A = this chain, B = another copy of it.
Amino acid sequence: MKSKQETKQPEIRRKKTAEERRQDILEAALNIFTEKGYNGSTTAEIARGAGVAEGTIFRHFATKKELLIAVLSPKILEGIISLDKKHKDPVEFFRCFMKNRMEFIKENDGLVRFMFAEAQYHDEVREALSNGILGQGINIVQPWFEKGVKQGVFKPVPFPSVMRTFMGMVLFYGVFNHVFPGLSPENTIEEATDQTLEIFLHGLMVKEAKT
């Protein structure tokens, strides 16, 4: 009789390290969270997605909320830092930065929308976003903006407004395409970036039409 060996699972035990299991869970959680939202996702579904038992989740994360934080924390800074090149002038910097950000958003579209959606309801998400994105974002953008102002190429608009309009234009790229599909049908990232940057830097009005 081969009862015990065959009736029980023959293969699903430990073939991965604890860390790998953790990553499986995080990955599945991210997928399900972004699709259904935090409160709309169940730990059972996440377990299924990760290919583990539900109890396993709680061995790695004390609560569901802790799982949420763990999912977002690394993602919040990811991609922010990748501004390695030395840019010569502020305009060049903003061009690269916007292109870089919009590509990131295009690729991590669901994640970005999820982060800002859940930030509405969870203090922890809001704080993580605020500390991560804003903190890093300011550190990177503000010096370049101020340099541009000093050089006389940028207007002395208050920096928060610059940051706000910039982020709004860039972040809304993902939201817009998701909520209003069918619009901007064959807009490539390059075109979208160029047109967004054009408005951000030079505005919608033609120069000659000065008041």
Q: Which residues of A contact B (CB under 8 A)?
A: 35-40, 91, 94, 113-114, 116-121, 126, 129-130, 134, 152-155, 157-158, 160-165, 167-173, 175-176, 178-181, 183-184, 187, 191-192, 195-196, 198-210
Q: In the complex, A152 Cα to B205 Cα: how many Å?
A: 9
Are B168 and A172 in touch, CB under 8 angstroms?
yes
Given known contacts A162-B204, A207-B207, A180 and B134 CB-to-CB distance under 8 angstroms:
yes
Q: Can you sample 10 A-B contacts with CB below 8 Å?
A: A37-B121, A114-B120, A117-B120, A155-B206, A157-B198, A158-B195, A162-B199, A162-B204, A164-B176, A200-B203
Given known contacts A37-B121, A158-B195, A171-B172, A184 and B164 CB-to-CB distance under 8 angstroms:
yes
- Taking CB atoms, residues of chain B closer than 8 Å to A205 are 91, 153-155, 201-202
Q: A187 to nearest B CB, angstroms? A: 7
**How many copies of the chain does the oligomer comprise?**
2
Are A192 and B130 in touch, CB under 8 angstroms?
no
- Taking CB atoms, residues of chain B closer than 8 Å to A40 are 39, 121
- Taking CB atoms, residues of chain B closer than 8 Å to A210 are 207
Are B161 and A199 in touch, CB under 8 angstroms?
yes
Are A199 and B168 in touch, CB under 8 angstroms?
no
Are B171 and A134 in touch, CB under 8 angstroms?
no
Q: A97 to nearest B CB, angstroms? A: 13
Are B204 and A120 in touch, CB under 8 angstroms?
no
Are B206 and A204 in touch, CB under 8 angstroms?
no
Are A196 and B120 in touch, CB under 8 angstroms?
no
Nearest B residue to A156, CB-CB:
B206
Q: A158 to nearest B CB, angstroms? A: 6
- Taking CB atoms, residues of chain B closer than 8 Å to A155 are 198, 204-206
Q: Which of B39, B130, B179, B187 contacts A179 (CB 8 A)?
A: B130
Are B196 and A165 in touch, CB under 8 angstroms?
yes
Are B179 and A126 in touch, CB under 8 angstroms?
yes
Q: A33 to nearest B CB, angstroms? A: 10
Are B167 and A176 in touch, CB under 8 angstroms?
yes
Q: A76 to nearest B CB, angstroms? A: 12
